[in-house]
Structure 1
């Protein structure tokens, strides 16, 4: 059985360290762990899936690849499918950022012994970044890619044993950055856009934020009929932020690689 991963899953696979004990949460058809097992990249994997249909599909995938000795398919919600200390790398892909943060927060003991998180939120990337910082993880790599008309961000975070080193890393990562055109990328903008992605903006990065800017403009138009004072104040605040985003996107576009 020859498994071909999507660009998105291939990028995640490439970030899984060799010899890892992996938990792929929301594994769907277990493509990622089976691919890694067939290429002898991992020593063990849990493919977790809460929905019955994908769970059965994952079992068939593992059986068809004859990987039952390496990939263990389990039915359950989030990290409930793994035992404490059982894995050292966790991948979660294709969910909203809020759900990813909820899954990781549900049972902190399940993260003991985990040294790497590879996360691909479909939306709410800023929620994931905030969670990582608040929970003592170091965001060390970010990648953005386009596939089949959709844009995805992949985040890689590691556990740093040295607490002082971790704090210094995170402070530098989210420190307000002055762009060459005189605009400041504050901590809030860095959480939203990505501290590493915005450092070397690609054409895909610019494409994403031009699209987001269009969505913000449409939201602003729906707020034009505001009648109450409170609603008008909200519109004014949103318009100010939208204008700031417009300036930031224009500035980053001049830096894109």
Structure 2
């Protein structure tokens, strides 16, 4: 899947980080943007000047985050009709009828999984999910594997000493299409570093899922 190449967008005096810019580049001309768990709102706001974007939804369950964001919007983008701020958990989102590019990042795999379960019945063939979990990735991928979702792309990147998976999904007619451990993650130089990191990290765990994951990682060298 070819990503749209964009320059790192700027909002005020802040630029998108490597991770946010990597998420941003998976946008493919959808009419509505959803930035779920938006925090500072930088990712969603980076689409403000895209003519094809009709609506930008900034979503966060934390009241202080929403208050700060509303003040920021009021001071800077008060007349822009594209912006909508939602103070609610992602598990309660109702999607727009237009095509949606849905970003979910900055939270654990369990929470992302709950949000995706809410979204799956609402998804159309024109929508895409771009997710980047912080933790509980094995559990999340197992959930995704069991649902009617297709893998469009995936990558791993490293930022500030941390590794992040980015997984791009779309609605599918059948389940089982999301590989449990990833396919494209491991070939790049960053992927090789990630493999070594995972080998060390999961060697501390003795549960069945972790041992199976370790066996897979070790097989990559065979």
* SS of 1:38 mapped into structure 2: coil
Distance 1:238 1:118 in 2: 25
Of Structure 1 and Structure 2, which has the larger fraction of its residues in helix? Answer: 1
Distance 1:48 1:54 in 2: 10
* Kept in 2: contact 1:84–1:110 (CA 8 A): no
* SS of 2:46 mapped into structure 1: helix
* SS of 1:123 mapped into structure 2: coil
Distance 1:217 1:128 in 2: 20
Q: Please report the RMSD computed on the Cα atoms of aligned residues, expressed in angstroms.
A: 3.0
Distance 2:65 2:163 in 1: 24
Q: Paired residue for 1:91?
A: 103
* Kept in 1: contact 2:123–2:171 (CA 8 A): no
Aligned partner of 2:156 among 137, 144, 148: 144
**Aligned: 1:54 with 2:43:** no
Alignment: residue pair count:
210
Structure 1 runs (4+) greater than 4 angstroms displaced: 237-243
**Aligned: 1:202 with 2:173:** no
TM superposition score normalised by structure 1: 0.69
* Kept in 1: contact 2:30–2:127 (CA 8 A): no
**Aligned: 1:191 with 2:180:** yes
Distance 1:133 1:216 in 2: 21
* SS of 2:40 mapped into structure 1: coil
Structure 1 residue 90, shift from structure 2 partner: 1.1
* Kept in 2: contact 1:29–1:61 (CA 8 A): no
User: 1:178-198 CA distances to partner (integer Å, 9 max, x unpaired)?
Assistant: xxxxxxxxxxxx412x12224
Structure 1 residue 119, shift from structure 2 partner: 0.6
- Gaps in structure 2 of 5+ consecutive residues: 1-11
* SS of 1:36 mapped into structure 2: coil
Structure 1 residue 86, shift from structure 2 partner: 5.8
* SS of 2:132 mapped into structure 1: strand
1:121/1:78 CA distance change after superposition, 3 Å: same
Structure 1 residue 41, shift from structure 2 partner: 5.6
Distance 1:11 1:17 in 2: 13
Structure 1 residue 102, shift from structure 2 partner: 0.8
Distance 2:132 2:201 in 1: 22
- Gaps in structure 1 of 5+ consecutive residues: 175-189, 221-233, 252-257
**Aligned: 1:247 with 2:218:** yes
User: 1:133-165 CA distances to partner (integer Å, 9 max, x unpaired)?
Assistant: 4321111100111111111111111235xx4xx
Q: Paired residue for 1:45?
A: 56
RCO greater where, 1 or 2, for CA within 8 Å and sep 6 or more? 2
* Kept in 2: contact 1:45–1:70 (CA 8 A): yes
Distance 1:29 1:151 in 2: 21
Instruction: Point out the more displaced range, 26-35 or 201-210.
Output: 201-210
**Aligned: 1:105 with 2:117:** yes
